[in-house]
Structure 1
């Protein structure tokens, strides 16, 4: 039947992580594979109250079709947070509610990308972005990451070697590495973009989850280029309602995004938008986020302590200041895919690094998620993984 399918779908792969998660459904498996928030952080009772309030006050109205742009009070709330927390001049018309940030990526691909356009992403880069944008058949280029952000010299070279249409970045607690761009790195990056026509995409699902250090301004603060911010309630309230958003102050971009969304799904789940908004106005979001950050900091510390105890000293580990992931680099001779196979027999799982790359693919990297396991489970899982690493090293 392949002749019936489009080239774009035939050339696209299933999500590697989603396939791994099928394996980890086994309750005996200790999984560091998914990018899953800890369910104990979900405000279940408060969300139930919000649902009851929304339905009792509004009746059948909340089950009707709605506008493509999204529920206006929710958009106003998001815009106000950008104003107060980041000093950005944002209003409700600059916000488009989406079905999670992932839909935002798809809409960006629809609006901007023709086949064979050039897209620049981080190395390693977010797998969900690679998958979403791949459907539009661009040429991907990757720029190396250091502990303080991208390789600026390489970035400048790539910008001028290729007609880069989009630069996609996750500057806060990057997925998969957990690193955060420094202010100096962002400022230099923004200045380089000013000499181009490249559209800046800043994806920020984890920025609220800083538990060490100080917040850093968005890259767009240092650039006059067209820019788009992606945000989500998935990591700070609940992922299951799939409420995210696109933010851009360029009306011509927003207009095209709205057209693309109308063609995709008319509008994001209206009932979920109303429930999220009701939750937000009835509860102290900052207090809720502070509880999440405390939890995740404890889990991050537990994983780093266990790694220090059980991993060989020649394994390099990032030490994130927030977010949900850390990144491990094994000795050059070791394959993370082989490690995954061996670790699976010990009933522990992670994500091998290969899916986070395009083009040249290192074989010796992996991502670990620390937010979905308690410290005792983290210790046992890292102990098993350390055992698997030592076994492979002994066989080398």
Structure 2
């Protein structure tokens, strides 16, 4: 007799669900559908030749090391590179503050495993990144949320939410996924102050920070938190990097700057937190692929990544501008959208009576796809909104896809007989 496996699943699996984005990506693999659904970088920007040369170099010069088990913390030259790269944005750290992860999704899972007990309350933006919600639901977290607007998280609404005693806050300050908005400098300062006042730590997720193509750089939350601590002369003699004694754990990734197939991300945190993360990661995968880390380092070093990111910004700026212009031309009155200063996404809001899941069905029938907004809400809401990705489609596909989507929106807002449509 076969084993009834479903009776043996852990209770936490009842909170798990498949990612709608992953399911949509399966559906939209059809070549006739123009998809704005995935958070996919432009594949033509992947530095394939550089990876080919780096792979050969690594195998020829360090083959036995690259194919062997390694330390959980990560490849030391890559961690040193990350420390130097972050330093350009004011993030001062040592390699002891950095843990390499198998993509930023593993970093989120590590945070969940490390910090969340069943029933713990997590405070997020509304809407927020689906991958974080999905990861932490598996640890039986509960969620509260505060809305965003064009300047990011509504910090003026935080106090009531913080009275609920959340375990931590999760914030994407730069070109937020899914909203595309950026947390203003003034709100960042206010957020640091209120987090310090209530003693609630912040998980700062920054996968898109280098992809700014409009406006001025704004210091990361972790930098502003350090400035606040240093202003109080917050000194610990056991660790010269008192920077990471504060309220912020920082995360980022190479997925949007080199290639998502590498599955390389990192966590920056106080040394003792990193040590705990190391023990947690050892039970997951021992360490991130040695070979991939070494190849990524060979590709990124000597200024290559800096120049490559400049090229990516140019391409994404052009595609954003084309999408915004096409939306202005084709979307009907009553439909509004954000104007991202960087990143990969923008957010569309329709009149309240429309449901984006139903609109998606008609959009797919017209061979264009997006992600419904409710997917990004940890509890409920967002039914009249959806996310668009502008990085993955060509300029021609963007123009055609937005024209199709505009036609769909015109139809659902002002239905006409099917024959005329």
TM-score, shorter chain, exceeding 0.5 = yes
- Conserved in 1, the CA contact under 8 Å of 2:172 and 2:205? yes
User: Secondary structure, in 3 states, of the residue corresponding to 2:26?
Assistant: helix
Correspondence 1:61 to 2:82: no
- Conserved in 1, the CA contact under 8 Å of 2:91 and 2:222? no
Measure, in 2, the Cα distance between the counterparts of 1:47 and 1:19.
Answer: 29
Partner deviation per Cα, 1:85-129 (whole Å, 9 max, x = no partner): 122221111110000000000000000010011100110000000
Pick the aligned partner of 1:307 from 327, 333, 338.
327
Superposed displacement of residue 195, structure 1 = 1.4
State how 1:376-395 maps to structure 2 within 5 Å: 376-395=396-415
Measure, in 2, the Cα distance between the counterparts of 1:251 and 1:95.
Answer: 8
Superposed displacement of residue 375, structure 1 = 1.0
Pick the aligned partner of 2:42 from 3, 28, 38.
38
Measure, in 1, the Cα distance between the counterparts of 2:304 and 2:378.
Answer: 42
Partner deviation per Cα, 1:202-243 (whole Å, 9 max, x = no partner): 001000000001110111233354321111111001110111
Structure 1, 103-112 or 1-10: larger mean CA deviation: 1-10
Measure, in 2, the Cα distance between the counterparts of 1:251 and 1:46.
Answer: 33
Measure, in 2, the Cα distance between the counterparts of 1:149 and 1:346.
Answer: 33
Measure, in 2, the Cα distance between the counterparts of 1:32 and 1:326.
Answer: 10
Superposed displacement of residue 23, structure 1 = 0.2
- Conserved in 2, the CA contact under 8 Å of 1:328 and 1:365? yes
1:117 counterpart residue number: 120
Pick the aligned partner of 2:261 from 240, 265, 269.
240
Correspondence 1:143 to 2:163: no
Superposed displacement of residue 154, structure 1 = 1.6
User: Secondary structure, in 3 states, of the residue corresponding to 1:216?
Assistant: coil
- Conserved in 1, the CA contact under 8 Å of 2:168 and 2:201? yes
Measure, in 2, the Cα distance between the counterparts of 1:163 and 1:132.
Answer: 20
- Conserved in 2, the CA contact under 8 Å of 1:191 and 1:222? no
- Conserved in 2, the CA contact under 8 Å of 1:354 and 1:363? yes
1:71 counterpart residue number: 75
User: Secondary structure, in 3 states, of the residue corresponding to 1:240?
Assistant: helix
User: Secondary structure, in 3 states, of the residue corresponding to 1:144?
Assistant: strand
- TM-score, structure 2 normalization: 0.91
State how 1:199-218 maps to structure 2 within 5 Å: 199-218=201-220
Unaligned runs of 5+ in 2: 230-245, 417-421
Correspondence 1:7 to 2:7: no
Superposed displacement of residue 59, structure 1 = 2.3
Superposed displacement of residue 283, structure 1 = 4.9
User: Secondary structure, in 3 states, of the residue corresponding to 2:203?
Assistant: strand
Superposed displacement of residue 4, structure 1 = 1.1
Pick the aligned partner of 2:360 from 340, 356, 364.
340
- TM-score, structure 1 normalization: 0.97
Unaligned runs of 5+ in 1: none
Q: Give the alignment's Cα RMSD to 1 decimal.
A: 1.2
Superposed displacement of residue 330, structure 1 = 0.4
Measure, in 2, the Cα distance between the counterparts of 1:58 and 1:87.
Answer: 33
Partner deviation per Cα, 1:9-37 (whole Å, 9 max, x = no partner): 12211111001111001111100000000
Correspondence 1:176 to 2:178: yes
- Conserved in 1, the CA contact under 8 Å of 2:221 and 2:248? no
- Conserved in 1, the CA contact under 8 Å of 2:250 and 2:267? yes
User: Secondary structure, in 3 states, of the residue corresponding to 1:119?
Assistant: strand
Correspondence 1:264 to 2:284: yes
1:194 counterpart residue number: 196
Correspondence 1:29 to 2:33: yes
Superposed displacement of residue 360, structure 1 = 2.8
User: Secondary structure, in 3 states, of the residue corresponding to 2:197?
Assistant: coil
1:290 counterpart residue number: 310
Q: How many residues align?
A: 393
- Conserved in 1, the CA contact under 8 Å of 2:90 and 2:219? no
Correspondence 1:328 to 2:334: no
